[in-house]
Amino acid sequence: MILTVTLNTALDITYRVRSLRPHASHRVSEVVERPGGKGVNVARVLAALGHEATVTGFAGGATGRVVRERLADTAGVTDALVPVAGSTRRTIAVVDERSGDTTQLNEPGPQITPAEWGAFLDRYEELLPSASAVALCGSLPPGVPVGAYGNLVRSARALGVPVLLDTSGEPLRRGVAARPDIVKPNADELAELTGSHEPLRATQDARRRGAHAVVASLGAEGLLAVTPEGRWRAAPPARVHGNPTGAGDSAVAGLLSGLVERLPWPDRLSRAVALSAATVRAPAAGEFDRAAYEELRGRVAVTGEVTAA
């Protein structure tokens, strides 16, 4: 079982409009709802790849009930969310059909009480021994300690469970110091962490801060990985247009599944890039286009070198 942690779960709502214009009324041509939040998206992709995934984090209110109902219908995903008094957030993606661009609106999430945080920690400790790997993903809702991910990384490492961290800002800074096995920032998050806008230099600096391996998401340019075994770049064969919501989460699923399957780094990266690109092509947030994935997986360009640790 792969465990994914989503402290700020969401109901992802995708609206499609013919053309998005400021200060105008719009007729929505299609509405799609999915359980969301970064770790939930990761779990759904892992399940589609044939891995058993368990989701934990928080869910509350009417929105939280919808998220849990939808998760119950997702084959291969087990719901281990902790109930809270506050209401789970919604995220709204508005897709402009004419341009292909997406506008994203994200709510902040519920206030988490100390008792609710303690209940989550108990659930996490119960689940860890059965996990083959852990993904710690996304933002922290109000009330959760800023150093939460650092503590969760240390708990996983104490049991020998490999852990991937995908967050930003101060939670990322503190989480990296706890020495996760993989960190997956995007270019902006990496620059904020290290102060460098040069991807290779910033990725190497992030490793020196404590991460065992760093895989930086460079948007349309793919992934850059610096690991003890070597460093590589992986890029899709062409720029992909569509809805980018969840593309980074699909990349995380590719990296995690590759880790559990003990694939070499170039194979992990090509899978992650193909999944990410196939997610951009999918019509709804947090899904991936399987036909596009099968087409792309053999066409991802991976270049790099094996180095000493």
Q: Is the dihedral of CA 80, 138, 114, 10 positive or negative?
A: negative
Catalytic one among 73, 249, 267, 289? 249
Indicate if 249 belongs to the active site. Answer: yes
| Alpha-carbon distances, residue 51 vs 47, 62, 141, 163 (angstroms) | 5, 29, 28, 16
Tokens of 105: 């609106």
| Alpha-carbon distances, residue 229 vs 213, 226, 307 (angstroms) | 9, 8, 6
Is-contact 205 287, C-beta < 8 A?
A: no
CB neighbours of 198 closer than 8 A, spacing ≥ 6?
none
Q: Where are the beta strands (DSSP E) in 61-162?
A: 77-79, 82-84, 89-96, 102-106, 133-137
The DSSP string of 159-176 is TT--EEEE--HHHHHHHH
Nearest Cα residue to 88 out of 106, 103, 114: 106
Nearest Cα residue to 257 out of 231, 245, 275: 275
Tokens of 283: 């019509």
Is-contact 8 141, C-beta < 8 A?
A: yes
| Alpha-carbon distances, residue 45 vs 54, 109, 119, 135, 280 (angstroms) | 12, 23, 27, 13, 13
What amino acid positions are annotated as catalytic residues?
249
